[in-house]
Chains A and B, each alone.
Chain A
Amino acid sequence: MTTNEDLDLIVNQYLSRLEAALANLPPERRRQLIESITDHISEARVTLAVTSEVALRDILDRVGQPGDIAAAALADEVTPVHPQATGSRRGIVTGLAIAIVILVVLGTYLASRSNNSVPTTTVTVTTITTTSISITVPNVIGETLGTAESALEKFQFTVSVVSSCSGYGVPGAVTSQVPAAGSSAAQGSDVRLVVKPGKGCS
């Protein structure tokens, strides 16, 4: 008969191997992951009323090899997560870089002018263009206008609204959108929504 202490020992051995395999992970991530897997094993032991070593080994097999878990954790560590979010951030960074270059050039130019001690008025118009970034338009059909707007603004779209009784949907909901969900549109571009009025439609 296997005692609970024996089972605890097997779990602890497993967790030590896991901890060693996760050595390359940032400490906070490692702590979180070990906590989640510790909870998972405790939950499984209670739920499945585990009293034998065989049953416990089965649970640990399903949790997986520490090396596999470490590989998954490291892969998630380096993968850029949201192409959209990363793209828009890159756009802002590009914009800032261009702005800084323009300021430096302008500063150097003005400094060289002031050495000539000729009073001049310089009017400078700078246009900052960033590379346009395409973002996948989310589906907001069926949402209320408020939810649709905040969803679209999160993806950096502007929103214009037309009110119409035609189209399928409950009062107050978005019944259609242009561009359609799933298509690509430039960051900052306009998404037009048709919204069914809250009342007044027969």
Chain B
Amino acid sequence: MIAKGSSNLMSQMRRGAVEYCVLALLRDRDMYGFELTRALSTAGGLVASEGTVYPLLARIRQDGLVETFWEASPQGPPRRYYRLTNDGRLALETFRDQWRQFRNTVDAIMKGSDV
């Protein structure tokens, strides 16, 4: 049986983590909206739908974690690309450290109580 609060808990954890998954996807290369949101939705269980990622992109752009620029597309309309800023890189690194620590602690405790 699934505990009552668990879907709400998962949606909150997802909400917190997706932002950093976006930053992580942009770490090695710039991406445009469609490919970025599709990469997240293909990952499975991370976002409710591709469209729900755009408000988040707007917010982290406003926060200065990413910046955008337009580039011509070989086949369709111009693409708005997202690029990681120095602040974004810093936020990502900080989260990665904290996440690793958090995950290890929870895993260790879960393992101990696993019967």
State the A residues within 8 Å of B (CB): 18, 29, 32-33, 36-37, 39-40, 42-47, 61-65, 68-69, 71-73, 75-77, 81-82, 136, 138-139, 147, 151, 154, 181-182
Contact = CB atoms under 8 A, between A and B. Distances in A.
A43 B77 contact: yes
B87 to A, nearest CB: 7
A68 B52 contact: yes
Interface stretch (B1-9, B20-28, B90-98, B106-114): B90-98
A63 B49 contact: yes
A40 B98 CA distance: 33
Contact of A43 (B33, B48, B97): B33
A138 to B, nearest CB: 5
B12 to A, nearest CB: 10
B56 A39 contact: no
Interface of A is mostly: helix
Interface residues of B, number: 35
Nearest to B97: A182
B61 to A, nearest CB: 10
A47 B94 contact: no
B76 interface: yes
Contact of A139 (B57, B58, B97): B97
Nearest to B49: A64
B80 A62 contact: no
Nearest to B91: A138
15 contacts: A33-B58, A46-B77, A61-B49, A64-B49, A68-B51, A71-B52, A72-B48, A73-B55, A76-B56, A76-B58, A77-B55, A81-B63, A139-B94, A182-B94, A182-B97
